[in-house]
Amino acid sequence: MSFESFTAKIPSNFSSEDRAHIAEAYQLAEAAFTGQDRANGDPYITHCEGVAEILLDLDTSPSMVIAGLLHDATLDTDLTLEEIQTKFGATIAGLVSGCAKITALQQLSRGDQHPDERTPLPPTTPIETDSRKNELVAETMRKMLLAIGDDVRVIVIKLADRLHNLRTLSAMPPDRQVLIAQDSLDIFSPLANRLGIWQIKWELEDLSFFYTNPQKYQEISDQIALKRDKRTEEINEIINSLGERLKEAGVSAKITGRPKHIYSIYRKMIRKGQNFEAIRDLRAVRVIVDSVESCYKVLGLVHMHYQPLPGEFDDYIAARKPNNYQSLHTAVIYTDGKPLEIQIRTPEMHQNAEYGIAAHWRYKENSDLISNQYQQKVTSLRNLLALGKDSEDSQDVLDAISSDFFKDEVYVVTPKGSVVSLPAGSTPIDFAYAVHTDIGHRCRGAKVNGKLVTLDYQLATGDQVEILTVKKGGPSRDWLNPNLGLVKSNRSRTKIRQWFKQQDREENLLHGKETIEREFKRLGVSQPDLARYGANFGFKTLDDLYIAVGSGDFGLGRLIKLYSDEQKESLAQELQIKPSSYNKQAADSGFTVTGMKGLATATARCCHPAPGDDIIGYITRGRGVTIHRSDCPNILRVKDKERLLKVDWGQAQKTFPVEVQIEAFNHSGLMTEISTVLGSEPVRLVDLSMVNRNELVRVKLVVELAGLDQLSRLLARLENIPNVIEASRVKPG
């Protein structure tokens, strides 16, 4: 593209001064990048042009177009921020600086196709688990948000930068193609969705999917192409027929076919477990009318003439999505007996859906009038940026983007009739924090539709919620316990953690220490070397771990999970168990036995070992090997050490019995409440006994479960039952 071709794309409604500044920025970038080529051999200025052209297509402001032309200049040329500020002002220099900070992040694949990026990647240790991958993505997202500062326009420019890199990715080595495309799916596509920029979102996803899963991409693409002519013919007939019906009813409308993009088809196939043919909205039309009233009139006409599909209607006009998307969605059975999806919206809603927040900045720069939608979007983005700065846990940021904003939502009503959008599964506490942080802190109860409910009640769309508060006070630490299900929204969780972080350091340290000690005691296991475990999670000192747990910044479940997964041999060494030269063999019971082949194994009834416990094998006479906990009193008293075998946990193929004791005040309904908890957990009740002592009752359970992390969750839920004093594992002996 020549300079003349590029300037011809500048909208006519840009002022002459804006046009002159854009032309000056183009010439400055062209001179700065002289002699630099991209991987495909094109001059590097073509990338600057491409980014600026995408921003023009999004109807953004002149400042953003100029920043798009210069976004890489300070990193790859001798051009400085001071020179940019002198020529174009502090605003544009700030945008370029924000882009450079993100590009420089080591965790983020750049993909700008410089000479040093054209070679295959060096060999690296593969990421073995999804959890580790999520941690890396979360940390990258958090650092990216920190680099942006407080100007959300930087995100839009970086989205345009990434989109153009994906459009020209074919010249890169295959391993770099996959890395850049995966980053785009994990980080940039969610941000585009968060901003409501559908134009960028769908193309980012389809291009990334082409490189990350080429076989499935081609398969879906071929299936679309196979029936394209027939589908086009059907859509044209639907448009004509529906148009005639609306015209007869006096409704002026623009009806178009709505293309379904390859990645969204794939995601729907995976989510619903369906094949290509079963995806309902492969046939879809969009109806654009002049007013909100007309939207609902069209909806009524559609449902009057075609049979609606149950559960397929969504009103995003009355209850807009968190990214401010508005439209009516419905699916009906058309006259040919096949499903048809219909979207109904106004031109303003359509503009907002396609371009999102990006189109608002031009009007912001040229007018004092800023729309409510713009204000809501900027506030929403600034909340996300604030979360990146305030939260020390990167996973919070990733959860906030992927959970709170992109999963199913519920829409509940305040006593005054305002609609509040919350993640599906949200509780009254989440609602309270959504209304106001102080109301969340002082929340002590709730009424839903006029009736008192518990704080773990899951809200449903249409519920009217009233929060019962106290005059003073703060949140309960139990609200942060994921096992209790009291808080769903990551925004709520972050606000609660911030409250506790503001409390006295010594109080948090003491509470964290007591919480950890109590949990290991309740689980019936010896407390391990916490300093070593803390180091695994990045804590420099043991006190840092205690404070993080005490303030709610670090979930105790993560520590228990790591402890449960690790194998420790200290107690086994104390018992002088000699390792054998024989190979290990995984027994059918889920144990790995060292030293013998083909021995039957069974868990000891005296100590009921569970996965995560240190265990030891004892060779019996005629009954194979009995598996005990290493601290079982019967094992500690064994004199014949030769009969002890070294064993560890193999791949568990069944559950294991664990004895649990509950101390509680006796009251009507106690056993029903215990049964309800057991019924909602993936455990099996093996035995139950109960002893009454005046007003107190002791309930003993034997339950089969899979590991200590599962036991920890069960004990937490049992202890949360009203009038339960303590729930703990019964110690051996």
Q: How high is the pLDDT of residue 418?
A: 78
What are the DSSP calls for 360-429, one per residue? HHHHHHH-S---HHHHHHHHHHHHHHHHHHH-S-HHHHHHIIIIITTS-EEEEE-TTS-EEEEETT--HH
| Residue 547: predicted pLDDT | 85
Topology of the domain covering 407-489: Ubiquitin-like (UB roll) (3.10.20)
Closest Cα partner for 410 from 402, 421, 400?
Answer: 421
The predicted pLDDT at position 280 comes to: 53
Query: Parallel, antiparallel, or unpaired for β 328-333 and 307-308?
Result: antiparallel
Residues 635, 618: Cα–Cα separation, whole Å = 8
429-463 pLDDT per residue, tens: 999 999 999 999 999 999 998 899 999 999 987 78
Instruction: Note the pLDDT tens digit of each residue in 363-413.
Output: 444 444 344 444 454 445 545 545 444 454 444 545 555 444 444 567 788
Pairing verdict, β 284-289 and 339-345: parallel
User: Distance (Å, rounded) from C-alpha 80 to C-alpha 82?
Assistant: 5
Q: Do domains 3-212 and 221-356 have the same CATH topology?
A: no
Going from the C-alpha of 535 to that of each of 529, 532, 540, 545, 547, the distances in angstroms are: 10, 5, 6, 9, 14
Q: Is 656-729 a CATH 3.30.70.260 domain?
A: yes
Angle subtended at Cα 31 by Cα 25 and Cα 32, rounded to the nearest 5 degrees: 85
List of residues 6+ apart from 109 with CB closer than 8 A = 176, 179, 180, 183
- List, for the chain, all residue ranges whose pLDDT scores fall below the cut of 50: 125-132, 359-375, 377-379, 382, 385, 387-390, 392-395, 397, 402-407, 567-588, 595-597, 652-653
Task: Convert the pLDDT of each residue in 56-91 to its tens digit.
Answer: 888 888 999 999 999 999 888 899 999 999 999 998
Q: Token pair for residue 639?
A: 């004199």
CA distance 732 to 584: 28
Q: What pairing do the DSSP bridges indicate for beta strands 584-586 and 451-453? A: unpaired
For the segment 660-714, what is each residue's pLDDT rounded down to a tens digit? 999 998 888 888 888 888 878 888 888 888 888 878 899 998 888 877 778 888 8
404 phi, psi to nearest 5 deg: -65, -30
Determine the straight-line distance between the first and last CA of the chain, rounded to whole angstroms.
Answer: 82
pLDDT for res 206: 92
Residue 643, helix vs strand vs coil: helix
Contact 330, 355 (CB under 8 A): no
- Environment class of 189 (CB within 10 Å of its CB; exposed 0-12, middle 13-18, buried 19+): buried
Identify the burial level of 488 via C-beta atoms within 10 angstroms of its C-beta, where 0-12 means exposed, 13-18 middle and 19 or more buried: buried
Three-class SS of residue 341? strand
**482 closest CA partner among 456, 447, 521, 446:** 456
State the angle between helix axes of 45-57 and 16-32 in degrees (0 to 180), rounded to the nearest 10. Answer: 150
Q: Which fold has domain 221-356?
A: Beta Polymerase; domain 2 (3.30.460)
Reading phi first (left if > 0) and then psi (alpha if -120 to 50, else beta), residue 460 is in beta
| Residue 331, CA atoms < 13 Å, CB-side half-sphere | 13
Contact status, residue 52 vs residue 30, Cβ threshold 8 Å:
no
In CATH terms, the fold of domain 3-212 is Hypothetical protein af1432 (1.10.3210)
Could you tell me the two tokens for 488? 């769903």
Domain ranges of the chain: 3-212, 221-356, 407-489, 503-565, 570-649, 656-729
Dmax over Cα atoms in the chain, in whole Å? 97
Instruction: Name the helix (H) or strand (E) containing 659.
Output: strand 656-665
Closest CA to 211 of 244, 184, 178: 178
Q: Is 26 helix (H, G, I), strand (E, B) or coil?
A: helix
Give CA–CA dist 688/697, Å, rounded.
13
Say whether 353 sits in a helix, a strand or coil: helix
The DSSP letter of residue 318 is: T
